[in-house]
Amino acid sequence: MASPSNDSTASVSEFLLICFPNYQSWQHWLSLPLSLLFLLAMGANATLLITIRLEASLHEPMYYLLSFLSLLDMVLCLTVIPKVLAIFWFDLRAISFSACFLQMFIMNCFLAMESCTFMVMAYDRYVAICHPLRYPSIITDQFVVKASVFIMARNALFLLPVPVLSSRLRYCAENIIKNCICTNLSVSKLSCDDITFNQLYQFVAAWTLLGSDLILIVLSYSFILKAVLKIKAEGAAAKALSTCGSHFILILFFSTVLLVLVITNLARKRIPPDVPILLNILHHLIPPALNPIVYGVRTKEIKQGIQKLLRRLHEVK
């Protein structure tokens, strides 16, 4: 990541994160549910990763993609929530210049990686249902490796300029960020420079990446639905749709929280500023906490794998 210019480092060497500027008394009350959600997200994703790693029957491309999604969720949680809790519990509001822009990069990049992972998972389900005979030859371990490299490279290259552009702005005096995390908008508006290009680039890059993923996901499910409706065997259609159920629920979680966050940010003048801040935090907690639970409950193979893991742990004790 590009280092900040000399002008900016001479004036500002760190930022102060002010969570919920209008309702700071809420912080201690919020810390308990946020802590529980954080522990749930980390524990559920870790359990899912260990189960897939230890259970030989889960060593398949679909579950490898789910493992990749769990890793992304854990990194997002660890990037945001510990700092938020440190602010709530210990009033540790200071964050260094470089740490702030690193957090900004990881949040932007990994959020887009999740969207891209959902797109690849939708393609996986499309091939499984629309071209079942070709599935073993198309969706292979090598495909998962290539897809993972593509997901990381595409989003890192497109979104690296966001924190780089922000870090090169001049920050003259103001260093108080009215947010719990270093979002591009919250940080860049403290600059003395014109931030039009910075904001325009993030807007175009984010909607290009997320928009293209969403279009491909909708197309995949359109083809899946069309294929399922043609299946005449009794119960076959329901069975085919059930294999997509968990994935579709995860996409709804991700998209709904993101959509609400976007709407509240666009309507900032009508909504208290603390609401978008809270939604931004929850967006890094709710999908990561629910994703492994949904798959664990709805997927028979994962449920059996978790049960085996729990039996092993019980035997060890």
Quickly state the pLDDT bin for 240 (edges 50, 70, 90).
Answer: low
CA distance 107 to 159: 10
Half-sphere exposure of 264 (CA within 13 A, CB side): 17
Quickly state the pLDDT bin for 177 (edges 50, 70, 90).
Answer: very high
Which residue(s) pair with 16 in the sheet?
94, 176
pLDDT in the model for residue 8:
40
The Cβ of residue 30 has, within 10 Å, a number of other Cβ atoms equal to: 18
Residue % of the chain over a pLDDT of 70: 90
Per-residue pLDDT tens digits for 203-234 = 999 889 999 999 999 999 999 888 888 876 66
Per-residue pLDDT tens digits for 6-21 = 444 446 788 999 888 7
Class of residue 309 by CB neighbours under 10 A (exposed 0-12, middle 13-18, buried 19+): middle
Residue extents of the structural domains in the chain:
14-316
Residue linked to tokens 């679909």? 62
Going by the DSSP 8-state scheme, the letter that residue 174 receives in this structure is -
- Output the pTM of the full model: 0.89
Superfamily of domain 14-316: Rhodopsin 7-helix transmembrane proteins (1.20.1070.10)
Which residue(s) pair with 95 in the sheet?
15
CA distance 112 to 150: 12
**119 pLDDT above the threshold of 90:** yes
Best CA proximity match to 140, nearest among 129, 153, 156, 128: 128
Helix (H, G, I), strand (E, B) or coil at 184: helix
pLDDT in the model for residue 234:
63
CA distance 272 to 310: 45
Residue linked to tokens 């690296």? 160
Helix (H, G, I), strand (E, B) or coil at 94: strand
Quickly state the pLDDT bin for 276 (edges 50, 70, 90).
Answer: confident
User: Edge to edge, what strands does the sheet with 176-177 contain?
Assistant: 94-96, 14-17, 176-177
The Cβ of residue 205 has, within 10 Å, a number of other Cβ atoms equal to: 19
